[in-house]
């Protein structure tokens, strides 16, 4: 039997950096796509909401089957790394084409919307397979060592927070610089997304190369165990009660975060303080980095569940404070409240994000121990489902909430009516906060799997696999 490769800081850091650069590239459409479509592509908020709902529904349906395809695949250069290598290309083009201003050569707004949605789906459908394959590399690299698993995900969160500082400080000034040079206000979004995407693709392909020993070609491991059937993978989800609790909790919470995130840029547009957005985003990214540095120690102190509940309640109360205090009585921006709330939201997110993959891996280890069937890849696919539902519902609600509040691009300012501002702040603060509180309550009441139990299940599963491998070798 070949000796298992040794996990080093090079593997951990490259894994973390490639993911953080993907997040950096994705931040441009994530933060500005709806604004880009209303203000530059001249697409109505209602049309955007409808288009997003369709695209995100397709994205969700693909997400349901991604784990099945991955687990049943037999790729030549590793089960998971082969997918990561292939999807680097589709992620690259899907990300940047979303930010092309087609209004100068396509007169029909519906066609412009369709183009954005096609490449939106290319990116997000690819992310279903990419995120599952990346998360599946965590147990491949760390084995059953729970501390190594936490180290990988914690480093990933820390790198993501650090690169977010760069993204926040650079994105809007870079967009403005391109506008000053070219005279095009929209071209900057495309160029910044492209530069970030090139950095992601380069580092991601380096990771694939150095991580190859952890994910050998399937022919060399096929005799150890057969992949579960489709029926077994589906059953593994619906019968794993703790995984279902995570799914419903994360889904409610993510609907709230996506609605909040989608309208954040509009807060600065509506109040006439768009230039200040760079300051606020940079401040929140610094808070995220600080939170990611203390999160591992906090997790050891209060457990992964405690970190999740603590982070979610802070996030929820922070968004609600925007509704309560984020707009002054004269309709102007209360930038102190907004900036503090953004910082608390981002810091709260990184308290639990450093463990996100581990929550689902823990449920996968429990399911493997309970049934004897390894469906951990399917568990990691379930991790993507709340994100996809959140993007579909929360993201679509952005357009509908903008229409409900009365937003008119691009001249909506502080001269709006009380009804306008009240509905707007409810959309960015109160409604998302309620969704988040529902998610936090579900986890608080119903999630019972402890860190100690998960570690024991992982150890027993590793022993079972070692025994199967020894038997196959004989």
Contacts of 171 (CB under 8 A, 6+ apart): 27, 28, 31, 192, 278, 281
**443, two tokens:** 């986890």
Q: Tell me: the pLDDT tens digits for 179-230?
A: 899 988 789 999 999 999 999 999 999 999 999 999 988 655 444 456 666 6
pLDDT recorded at residue 73: 79
Do 34 and 176 contact (CB within 8 A), yes or no?
no
User: What are the angstrom distances between the C-alpha of 400 and each of 36, 308, 467?
Assistant: 16, 30, 56
Cis peptide before 78 (omega within 30 of 0): no
State pTM to two decimals: 0.74
Sign of CA dihedral 220, 223, 224, 225: positive
Look at residue 413 in the predicted model and tell me its pLDDT. 46
pLDDT of 200 reads 93
Decide if 165 contacts 289 (C-beta within 8 A).
Answer: yes
Q: What pLDDT does 5 receive?
A: 83
d(CA 123, CA 111): 19
Give pLDDT, residue 394.
Answer: 83
- Say what the pLDDT of residue 82 is: 92
Beta bridge partners of residue 333, listed in sequence order:
327
What's the rounded Cα separation, in Å, for the pair 66 and 217?
Answer: 20
User: The domain 10-217+227-461: what is its CATH number?
Assistant: 1.20.1250.20
CB of 436 closer than 8 Å to CB of 319: yes
**Residue 442: how many other CB atoms lie within 10 Å:** 20
CA 41, 43, 48, 54 dihedral sign is negative
Among 42, 39, 471, which Cα is nearest to 268's?
A: 39
- pLDDT, tens only, 271-314: 888 888 888 988 988 998 888 888 888 888 898 899 999 999 99
Domain-by-domain residue ranges, the chain? 10-217+227-461
Spans of the chain below 50 pLDDT: 1, 221-224, 411-415
Q: Which two tokens stand for residue 290?
A: 């600080």
């Amino acid at each position: 039997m070949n000796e298992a490769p040794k996990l080093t800081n090079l593997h951990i850091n490259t894994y973390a950096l490639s993911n953080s650069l993907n997040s950096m590239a994705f931040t441009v459409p994530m933060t500005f796509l709806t604004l880009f479509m209303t203000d530059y592509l001249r697409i109505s908020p209602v049309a955007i909401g409808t288009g997003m709902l369709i695209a995100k529904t397709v994205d969700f349906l693909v997400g349901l089957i991604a784990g099945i395809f991955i687990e049943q695949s037999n790729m030549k250069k590793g089960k998971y790394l082969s997918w990561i290598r292939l999807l680097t290309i589709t992620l690259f083009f899907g990300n940047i084409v979303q930010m092309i201003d087609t209004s100068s050569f396509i007169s029909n707004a519906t066609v412009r919307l369709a183009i954005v949605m096609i490449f939106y789906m290319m990116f997000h459908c690819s992310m279903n397979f990419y995120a599952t394959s990346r998360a599946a590399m965590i147990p491949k690299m760390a084995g059953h060592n729970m501390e190594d698993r936490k180290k990988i995900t914690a480093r990933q969160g820390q790198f993501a927070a650090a690169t977010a500082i760069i993204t926040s400080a650079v994105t809007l000034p870079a967009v403005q610089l391109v506008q000053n040079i070219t005279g095009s206000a929209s071209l900057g979004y495309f160029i910044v997304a492209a530069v970030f995407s090139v950095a992601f693709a380069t580092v991601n392909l380096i990771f694939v190369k150095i991580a190859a020993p952890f994910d050998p070609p399937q022919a060399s491991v096929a005799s150890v165990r057969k992949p579960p059937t489709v029926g077994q993978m589906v059953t593994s989800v619906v019968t794993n009660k703790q995984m279902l609790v995570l799914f419903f909790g994360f889904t409610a919470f993510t609907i709230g975060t996506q609605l909040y995130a989608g309208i954040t840029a509009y807060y600065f547009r509506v109040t006439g303080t768009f230039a200040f957005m760079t300051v606020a985003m940079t401040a929140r990214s610094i808070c995220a980095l600080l939170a990611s540095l203390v999160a591992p120690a906090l997790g050891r102190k209060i457990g992964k569940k405690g970190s999740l509940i603590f982070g979610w309640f802070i996030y929820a109360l922070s968004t609600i404070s925007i509704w309560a205090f984020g707009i002054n009585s004269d309709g102007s921006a209360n930038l102190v409240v907004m900036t503090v709330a953004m910082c608390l939201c981002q810091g709260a997110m990184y308290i639990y994000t450093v463990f996100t993959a581990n929550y689902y891996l823990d449920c996968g280890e429990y399911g493997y121990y309970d049934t004897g069937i390894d469906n951990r890849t399917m568990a990691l696919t379930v991790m993507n489902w709340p994100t996809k539902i959140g993007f579909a519902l929360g993201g679509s609600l952005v357009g509908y909430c903008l229409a409900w509040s009365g937003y008119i691009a691009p001249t909506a300012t502080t001269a709006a009516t009380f009804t306008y501002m009240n509905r707007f702040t409810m959309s960015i603060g109160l409604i998302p906060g309620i969704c988040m509180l529902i998610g936090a309550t579900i986890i608080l009441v119903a999630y019972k799997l402890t860190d100690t139990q998960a570690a024991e299940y992982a150890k027993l599963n590793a022993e079972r696999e070692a025994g199967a491998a020894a038997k196959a070798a004989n």
